[in-house]
Structure 1
Amino acid sequence: MKINRLSLLNSLFNVLNENNQGDPYFILAEYFLEHYHELSRLNIYDVAADCFVSRSSIRRFCQAIGYENFVAFKDEFAQYDDQRASFQKHAGRENYRETLTQEINAMIAELDQRMNTAEVERLAERIHDAREVVFLTSSVGATSVAQFQHSMIFQNKVIRMVSDMYENIDFVKHLQKEDLLLVISGSGLFAAASRDYLRDNPAYKILFTLNRSHDFDDVYDTIYHLSAADRSQEAKSVYYTYGTIYVLDVLYSVYVKKYGDSQ
């Protein structure tokens, strides 16, 4: 499985958000998002005609977001069908609001207990003492990490985050034993995709996950499970969607209380 596929939608939205409306890359990203359901039936000639761009422009666009050509791009994008069905099933549940509220309350109660340990303080110490601190996360967890990243600036600690095509980012490859690498992977899919890539990285590696498989034991120095139960198969688990924010907020509070006055 290509690591890049996990962040393909995020890459397309980044192109959409960061380019002017008339830019060819903006036009292509918008087109691919709007034609998601029929992408497998499109060919490069249709796209070139509809978007008023050349085939070479389409090829360059695909390469810019990590794919060799348009065919490779289509093959990867098609695999999001299962995710779409899962999201629709989750949002279509009966009594959605009431059920979601109950799930969030139960999640907060469990995380409140799981975070009430000295381990949180030890994690704060690792972040404080590390030369470089890097978060790797799929697009789902990027927002939570970004909030933590911004907050840590007020503590004079620069946190780096990579969520797209990180196998091409040199500084991740060159981390040393004095550095801290934190991976957030709710289902474990992101961790599985990056396992071989990270295995020999000398940085101290920590995984946050809902997956209780032992497949990651030989890669990470420490694994923090966000729940006592294996929730890796739950679509849009509240533990991942909301729990990550809670965990990082608590961690930030502990960090401020321990090191805030000394900055």
Structure 2
Amino acid sequence: MAEWINAGRIEETAARKARRSLSTDACAVTVSVAAVFLASMFAFGDRFGIDLVAAGAAAVIYAVVSVIALRNLHAHGHGRFGAANVVTTVRAAITAALGGLVLASDQFGDVSQAGALWSTGTVIGFVLALDGIDGYLARRSGTTSRFGARFDMEVDALLILFLSLAAFLLNKAGAWVLLIGLMRYAFVAAQAIFPALRGELHPSLRRKAICVVQGATLCLMLFPVVMSPLSDVLAAGALVFLGYSFAADVVFLLKADRGSHAA
């Protein structure tokens, strides 16, 4: 009996050490990315139209995302934060910069800022390219987790939200384009009201492909050469595909819920 108790204490101590190690590692990555992020905004902010107010808003967005992520580390299940989550953290920082730009910069959308829009579109294209790398790194290193998958998905959703807002502010489409960015959050809100929508969704190539389409389409709309009516057509197509994807998931979850109750 004493051996079992001692073994349990040793395992509990090891688990506490692993959690502290993970927390320390994650905090170090978060702070390091924040330092590079802030330095980059002050060094190159003018090129993107990021003024002091926009930089402050971006810092707040990054801080909020970081706090939420760090509070959910228990779902990671590994002793190290991992390269995949480092990439996602970098993507979160750039997403926050875009958020600060579209929410707080007086220069955003100014016709004289075509160069800034080209620069912004190029950087966002790079962020979208990084989207598949974090998953690959997690699988390659054996550090896949519910935390990593959710972290990646929420950064994607936030990026799409800011891109749809950018499209609206740039007059590339009407206010309806905001539905692209808000649909994910509307689904989460619906889950709080309708328990049937809280079921598990299996990984889907259709869902991943349509997510890529949303990002690529909205990124293209940042560039000055993509104007209405082409931008309207692109945005409408992206919205139709996204609506179809969410509708398919809702139908699947409702059928699964009815099946579970019938059983």
More strand by share: 1
- Provide the TM-score with structure 2 as the length reference: 0.25
- Provide the TM-score with structure 1 as the length reference: 0.25
More helix by share: 2
